[in-house]
Amino acid sequence: MKAFDRIDGLVVPLDRPNVDTDAIIPKQFLKSIRRSGFGPNLFDEWRYLDHGEPGMDNSLRPVNPDFVLNRPRYHGAQILLARENFGCGSSREHAPWALEDYGFRAIIAPSFADIFFNNCFKNGLLPIVLDAGIVDRLFAGTEANEGYRLTVDLPSQTIRTPQGEEFSFEVDPFRKHCLIEGLDDIGLTLIHAEEIRAFEEKRKAEQPWLFIGNGK
């Protein structure tokens, strides 16, 4: 997965509480288990005026001009500003896949659903919990200033506004390490690849009968 260190990103405000995972990526798009290709259908039912299905050419679909992601001023945003309980609903890992595939690297909200919160870290997204009052101020700044950007620095665990305000956030040290190093669960396992191979060879030498007939 992509490593996360420090980003200076455009912010898009999604001013809705309790955004569930079916809104993030509707259920009809869950047939694929690849991590890529979900970005065009992120927030599909809000983004388009018709009903989306897998395989449709999204460039030909009518878009909802009132939905925030469709406004030109927010194109290319890397930071999603959200309200409380973001990512509630089902536990589908496709939700962070879709957000990451669209181009988001960080999500800022007063609170997140637990499973979604955990899945973000496993897929290179940084979910940041800030006090609701601070989130309100960031919403106000984003909506009042076109091109509003925030600097998210994971090593120092800080967010800096264009005005120079700085806010600290908490993150688990192990999750922080994994994001900075770009390590998902598979990557963490592969760090120990040589040790795993050595153990397998030792076991094969000590108990060869376990390997008879398995082609090894």
pLDDT in tens, 91-110: 899 999 999 999 999 999 99
User: Is 83 in contact with 15 (CB distance < 8 Å)?
Assistant: yes
The model's pTM is 0.86
CA–CA gap between residue 97 and residue 38 (Å, rounded):
7
Q: Where are the domains of the chain?
A: 6-183
Q: Checking phi first, is residue 164 left (phi over 0); if not, alpha (psi -120 to 50) or beta?
A: left
- Rounded to the nearest 10°, the torsion over CA 46, 125, 6, 161 is 40
C-alpha 29 chain-centroid distance: 17
User: Is 149 in contact with 163 (CB distance < 8 Å)?
Assistant: no
Q: Output the CATH code of domain 6-183.
A: 3.20.19.10
Phi and psi, residue 134, nearest 5°: -70, -40
pLDDT in tens, 3-52: 899 999 999 999 999 999 999 999 999 987 777 899 999 999 999 999 99
- pLDDT of 2 reads 86
